[in-house]
Structure 1
Amino acid sequence: MKEPDAARESVWDYPRPPAVEAASGRVVEIWFADTLIASTRSALRVLETSHPPVFYLPAADVAVELLTQSPAASVCEWKGLACYWDLDVAGRHVPRAAWSYPDPLPGYGQLRSTFAFYPGLVDRCTVDGERVRPQAGDFYGGWITSEITGPFKGRPGTSRW
């Protein structure tokens, strides 16, 4: 495994179970179909070993009128039951583009009334203007920026890490 330089965060230094932290006032934006879906300086980051951070945005800073709850759901052993949200903008539809934890388990209450988006399912996600690269795979929703180094879970063959 390549050693990260001091200016970058290694996902292998992140904890398990995951930690929730403020995104330090950085501007986090999500764009889809030439529409700004969300913009905030109040995002949270969930940090978990081997995963790029997942950014959670307060519902107050998301165009929630563009989201429709999906019948899909999943369970995280730490965060609880996740609900998925479809995105509809300008005639474009993306199933399960976002998820939320309406009633998170103890220790993750900060995630209540927030939404996380899959960066690979929208047109653009940025953190302080830097375009995010999506975590590989179709289940994890990590946001890869220049401050993060891996290797990252999500590629084929990484499911048992």
Structure 2
Amino acid sequence: MVSNLPKENVWDYPRPPAIEPVQAHLRVIYNDVVLADTTSALRILETGHPPTYYIPPKDVKQEYLKHNTKSTYCEYKGLASYYDFNPPDGQPVVTSRIWSYGNPSGTNGKYGDVKDYFSFYVGPWDCYVNEEKVEAQPGDFYGGWKTKNIEGKVNGGSGAWSL
């Protein structure tokens, strides 16, 4: 599939990261369950990383999510909380592949717009930007979604972190 998005190089993204509205249709699908479906997402762009997408809570099927005790800290956004996904089809629980910021910090409140939005690592579900199925950013530490229009060597990879 040819991407209908403009070319972007990850090394042109800023540091500290930028936040912007997404002009695309995002979906997260597990088997036949649509976990998220939105045209109102935000994305964070950081040097060396494909975009990380944040989906408004109203567009996420939260009945399948359960807050867990895991947390991580981002120097820009603050403390992230993680969620487990309980598949409705009786499959095993998927742990800590979804996160959000309940009280994002940041430069002059810059990241406050992602408050309570959800972000999904790619897998075990499929993630889409418009109709393009995305690839995961290498490694399990970063949650970037790589589409065909994203250019440049991205950070991550073997040894970046393991959930």
| Shift of residue 123, structure 1, vs aligned partner | 2.2
Q: Which residue of 2 aligns with 1:71?
A: 69
Distance 1:124 1:158 in 2: 22
Deviation at 1:44, TM superposition (A): 0.6
Q: What displacement does 1:113 show?
A: 2.1
Is the CA contact (8 Å cut-off) linking 2:141 and 2:160 kept in structure 1?
Answer: no
Quote the residue 2:125 is aligned against.
123
Match of 2:17 in 1: 18
CA distance in 2 between partners of 1:123 and 1:109 (Å) = 27
Give the structure 2 partner of residue 107 of structure 1.
110
Structure 1 residue 122 displacement after superposition: 2.8
SS in 1 for 2:14: coil
The number of aligned residues is 151
User: Normalising by the residue count of structure 2, what TM-score does the alignment of the two structures yield?
Assistant: 0.88
Q: In the TM superposition, what whole-angstrom CA distance separates every residue of 1:97-142 from its partner, at most 9, and x where no partner exists?
A: 20000000121100012000001x2321001110000011011010
Amino acid corresponding to residue 41 of structure 2 in structure 1 = A
The answer to whether the 8 Å contact 2:26/2:130 transfers is: yes
Cα shift readout 1:6-50 (whole Å, capped 9, x = no counterpart): x410000001111110111x1100011320001000011110000
Distance 1:8 1:157, change over 3 A: farther
Which one-letter code corresponds to 1:84 in the other structure?
A: Y
1:157 Cα deviation from its structure 2 partner:
7.2
1:75-94 alignment, distance < 5 Å: 75-89=73-87, 90-92=89-91, 93-94=93-94
3-state SS, counterpart of residue 12 of structure 1: helix
Determine the structure 1 residue equivalent to 2:3.
Answer: none
Moved over 2 A (4+): 156-159
Task: List gaps (5 residues or longer) in structure 1.
Answer: 1-6
CA RMSD, Structure 1 to Structure 2 (Å): 1.4
